[in-house]
Chain A
Amino acid sequence: QVQLVQSGAEVKKPGASVKVSCKASGDTFTLSAIHWVRQAPGQRLEWMGWINAGPGNTKYSQKFQDRVTITRDTSASTVYMELRSLRSEDTAVYYCAKDIYSGGYYHFDYWGQGTLLTVSS
């Protein structure tokens, strides 16, 4: 059974940066692909980016390309998502999620519990 445990809620001022962690257990970390998805209050799930935890290659949504960096620490089985130049519109719950390939298709099978980021002056 895989578990993804995220770091706690954050409050930041506009212009600051935040780094959210996602620790994986119960699976072979380096075989995992971890995605970051955010959800503003009452809004859609928004895919931000992805890291292949073994080789460390990443891919980002065009929307966040200039402001987000996803990294991993294989020794700690942890993935990090850093978002820079924060603005009030970044207030949201941030989720990490692990995908699985099953029946010829990918889907997200495990999710972190979510990290609430509040950006306010």
Chain B
Amino acid sequence: DIQMTQSPSSLSASVGDRVTITCRASQAIETYLNWYQQKPGKTPKLLIYGASSLQSGVPSRFSGSGSGTDFTLTISSLQAEDFAAYFCQQTYSTPLYTFGQGTKLELK
């Protein structure tokens, strides 16, 4: 199975900050990379698919980039509702879709 490694595991930031989360794949996955946001007690919500395409309805402060093995999720200006956990997911090895270990974004 393809292994996905996210960094950092946790991150403290303030409203208005620019935040970047990184995801690395154990082998090249082209741009078959999704990003999800998960709030406590809720199911994950898709933010970005295909490494850089913004899901409909997701605010434009979220953006994704990367290809091959290295990817980033950037939140340009943190809002209060963005404090949550973020997970990357590879969909290169259909249908074995593995996730990163998650990044918990907390209020500083």
Q: Which residues of A contact B (CB under 8 A)?
A: 33, 35, 37, 43-47, 50, 59, 61-63, 95, 97, 99, 102-109, 111-114
Q: How far is the CB of A78 from chain B (nearest CB, A)?
A: 19
Cα of A62 to Cα of B94 in the assembled complex, Å: 14
8 A Cβ contacts from B1-38 to A: 1, 31-32, 34, 36, 38
Closest 4 CB pairs of A and B: A111-B43, A44-B101, A45-B99, A50-B95
**Chain B neighbourhood of A111, CB < 8 A:** 43-44
Q: How far is the CB of A17 from chain B (nearest CB, A)?
A: 23
Within 8 Å by CB of A45, from B31, B50, B87, lies B87
Q: How far is the CB of A57 from chain B (nearest CB, A)?
A: 10
A107 touches B43 (CB 8 A): no
Chain B positions within 8 Å of A62 at CB level: 1
How many residues of chain B are within 8 Å of chain A by beta carbon?
25
Q: Is the CB of B50 within 8 A of A61?
A: no
CB distance from B14 to the nearest CB of A (A): 23
A63 to B95, CA, bound (A): 15
Q: Tell me the chain B residues, 58-108 only, with Cβ under 8 Å from chain A.
A: 87, 89, 91, 94-102
With A46-B99, A59-B95 as given contacts, are A108 and B44 in contact (CB-CB < 8 Å)?
yes
The chain A residue sitting closest to B33, CB to CB, is A105
Are A47 and B43 within 8 A (Cβ)? no
A-B contacts, 26 listed (Cβ < 8 Å)? A37-B99, A43-B101, A44-B87, A44-B100, A44-B102, A45-B36, A45-B38, A45-B44, A45-B87, A45-B99, A45-B102, A47-B96, A61-B98, A62-B1, A102-B49, A104-B50, A106-B94, A106-B95, A106-B97, A107-B34, A107-B55, A107-B91, A108-B34, A108-B44, A109-B46, A111-B43
